[in-house]
Amino acid sequence: MNNAVEIPTQSPSTDVPSHEKFGTPDIVVVVVYFVFVLAVGIWASHRASRATIGGYFLAGRSMTWLPIGASLMSSNVGSGLFIGMAGSGAAGGLAVGGFEWNASWVLIALGWIFVPVYIAAGVVTLPEYLEKRFGGQRIRIYMSVMSLILYIFIKISTDIYSGALFIQISLGWDIYLATVILLLVTGIYTIAGGLTAVIYTDTLQTAIMLVGAFTLMFISFDKIGWYPGLEEKYMKAIPNVTVPNTTCHLPRADAFHMLRDPITGDLPWPGLIFGLTVLATWVWCTDQVIVQRSLAAKNLSHAKGGSVLGGYLKILPVFFVVLPGMISRALFTDEVACVDPVICERVCGIKVGCTNIAYPKLVIELMPVGLKGLMIAVIMAALMSSLTSIFNSSSSLFTLDIWLKMRKNATEVELMVVGRIFVAVLVAISILWIPIIQAANSGQLFDYMQSVTSYLSPPVTALFILAIFCKRINESGAFWGLIVGLVVGFIRMVMDFVYRAPYCGEEDTRPSVLKDVHYLYFALILFGLTALVCIVVSLCTPSIPDENLVRLTWWSRHSTAERADLVDPWDQSKEEESPRQEPGSDLQTIPEFPWWKNLYYWFCGISRTPAPKLTKEEREILEIKLTSIEEKPKWRRICNINAIILLAINIFLWGYFG
């Protein structure tokens, strides 16, 4: 067995910390990289400040297929995926890659089904679509609250934890000290660079990340003896210290198979094909962060082309994340595959297992000096870009959809301050949630992320599918379907955290609904239950007139009739719910303030420049650009052919590794 280290019975092989291999050149590369990112951010912010508000809005829908596809990839691949998916690959083998390959199908659905309806509806946010489709405010508020809950449980806490784990492995710091440092650096990055910096650095970071990931993949395969060597050594990757009379230290017999037993499999194939599609539809077709990329396309053909490119890119993580995770177990078996709770806690601070260290362990041990620092810098920068976007989105959701509903006359300054205080609260809750993440799902971060998604997202998926394809669904059915789905899913999630997964050798005493109903099966059940409630309640209540559904469903997307909006997006009442301008902001002169007040305004992101509104002509131009789903026949055929090729390659890969 080609283990890199031998572990004595009494202590793990951490006498020589791996962070000592993180040398001065790597630190220099990290510092230079972040200085470059901050410089680009400052330049971009200065450049963006020259644009007018009207010009900003009219520049919408200008993205082409290439940046859309790259954005779809970069917004979904971050440090959480590198940590979690590689860890799950180390623990269970190849099947976790199905989460990536399933995305190709759903991305085609995004470009060919969902985006045409969103564009025809003339919306720029998904809560806005639901408000137009059903009317009223409570569904929009529900979506905002649910987004905040998912941000806490899935995105913010897992991103902070995975980033802190990278720092812990590379520098040897305590994970909570690493968390504090990470948040401080992220705060500086947010203030100095801002979200504009992300626009200018995303493509560069994605390219460098792919280069670094593939470099590590080839180095890892060369070390292990390529794929035949991986097949041989992974199946022999058994730690020296095991728990007597158990099999949890043994690699799974089906480790190199994607499709696994529907009853005994850790990722049963019906759940991986159908249950996962429910989760993937929520991620790729109903999440504002993802869908916004496609809505910014120049036209529908570019949105489809971006989906096809994103589908191709999502095939790659199986090769540069999952397989390296399996290689890490084979090379560093006693650490990555530890099963004894005492040794695991000594290796990584988690009793239930250390597979989460699989990818950072490879980076530290195998990457050459300099490139190692660059790889860590890019992953950390991608993490911080993700956090800044999430912080901004969370702040906007809370202040505009919740706080502003409670305080109608809130000033701009109040909204900015409340938004930043709320972000601080989110961060505090997320940090307190880290120990639960560590203990959840046998220490596998990716399983934790997907299981929580399975408990909370299926009702949203069901609602969007019914909203698009079933015009009989009304506001009452949609709302009560969401509520019932939320209650049932939340009960399962709480039970999952109350009854922890057993350690190796322990009897599984959890209720049958936890140990016998896989979370992917539960996602299917919850999806069906929500759809049933939506349909039954809708049939028992009045339907929405057809004139209110023009261009809001799949069947009416091409209609040229005039739509009578249930809620007019341009009416006066909605404008009054926008952030208030400060008194005097309509003046052409900007008053002078002391330096400390200017610093305060800059920190809070409060603009003191006039905020011109869209003119009637600008609104008409914007509406035309937002609602056109016409395609040139040539480009429609090219997109269709490429979609078929992508799906054919995807089916081949499923069959080959199935």
* Lowest-pLDDT range of 13-27, 228-242, 248-262: 13-27
Q: Euclidean distance between the first and final Cα of the chain, in Å?
A: 27
CATH number at residue 405: 1.20.1730.10
pLDDT tens string 317-360? 888 888 888 888 888 888 887 877 777 777 777 777 778 888 88
What pLDDT, on the 0 to 100 scale, is given for residue 49? 41
Measured torsion, CA atoms of residues 408, 411, 413, 417, in degrees rounded to the nearest 10: -20
Is pLDDT above 80 for 534?
A: yes
- Mark out the alpha helices in 49-97 (DSSP H runs): 53-58, 65-76, 79-92
Q: Is residue 260 helix, strand or coil?
A: strand
Q: What is the pLDDT of residues 63-97, one digit of tens each?
A: 778 877 877 777 677 666 777 788 888 888 888 88
Give the pLDDT confidence score for residue 567 in this predicted structure: 55
Per DSSP, the residues of 136-170 read SSHHHHHHHHHHHHHIIIIIIHHHHHHHHHHHHHH
Q: Residue 138: what pLDDT?
A: 83
Query: What is the per-residue pLDDT for 195?
Result: 41
Q: Which residue has the higher pLDDT, 560 or 531?
A: 531
Nearest to 578 by CA among 409, 419, 418: 409
In a domain, 366, yes or no: yes
Most confident of 5-14, 161-170, 174-183, 464-473: 464-473
Around 327, how many Cα atoms within 13 Å sit in the side-chain half-sphere?
28
590 pLDDT band (50/70/90 cuts)?
Answer: very low
> Residue type for 325, please?
G
pLDDT of 268 above 70: yes
Q: Worst-scoring range by mean pLDDT, 152-156, 307-311, 538-542?
A: 152-156
Q: Which residue has the higher pLDDT, 221 or 45?
A: 221
14, part of any domain: no
639 exposure class (CB count in 10 Å sphere: 0-12, 13-18, 19+): buried
User: What mean pLDDT value characterizes the chain?
Assistant: 75
Quote the pLDDT of residue 618: 62
Q: Say what the pLDDT of residue 252 is.
A: 79
- How does residue 439 score in pLDDT terms, banded at 50, 70 and 90? low
Q: Which of 95-99, 280-284, 527-531 is modeled with the greatest confidence? A: 527-531
For 18, 141, 484, 566, the CA distances from 537, given in Å and listed in that order, are: 59, 20, 12, 20
Question: What is the four-CA torsion angle of 51, 55, 59, 60, rounded to 10 degrees?
Answer: 110
pLDDT value at position 604? 47
Coil/strand/helix, residue 349: coil
Using an 8 Å Cβ cutoff, are 249 and 242 in contact?
A: yes
What 8-state DSSP symbol labels residue 605?
T
pLDDT value at 53 more than 50: no
Q: How far apart are CA 20 and CA 365, in angstroms?
A: 10
Q: Which of 74-78, 108-112, 118-122, 560-564 tops mean pLDDT?
A: 108-112
- What's the pLDDT score for residue 211? 79
Segment 52-70 shows an average pLDDT of 56
Query: Average pLDDT for residues 214-223, to the nearest whole number?
Result: 87
Residue 596: how many CB atoms within 10 A of its CB?
8
Domain contains 8: no
In a domain, 476, yes or no: yes
- pLDDT exceeds cutoff 60 at 607: no
Would you say residue 4 lies in a domain? no
In a domain, 381, yes or no: yes
% helix / strand / coil in the chain, to the nearest 5? 70, 0, 30
Q: Is residue 15 one of the residues assigned to a domain?
A: no
Q: How far is CA 562 from the centre of its chain?
A: 37
Q: Residue 339: its pLDDT value, please?
A: 77
Q: What is the pLDDT of residue 33?
A: 75
For 444-494, the pLDDT digits (tens) are 667 777 888 888 889 999 999 999 999 899 999 999 999 999 999 989 988
Residue with the bigger pLDDT between 73 and 611: it is 73
CA distance 350 to 541: 52
Task: Kindly state the percentage of the chain with pLDDT values over 70.
Answer: 69
- Domain holding 559, by residue range, is 20-657
User: Which carries the bigger pLDDT value, residue 38 or residue 226?
Assistant: 226
Residue 405: the pLDDT is 72
In a domain, 81, yes or no: yes
Query: What per-residue confidence (pLDDT) applies to 528?
Result: 94
pLDDT at residue 533, as a whole number: 95
Residues 421-430: what's their mean pLDDT? 75
Residue 304 has pLDDT above 70, yes or no: yes
Residue 623 is predicted with a pLDDT of 66
Provide the domain count of the chain. 1
What's the pTM value of the predicted model, to 2 decimals?
0.79
pLDDT at 589 over 60: no
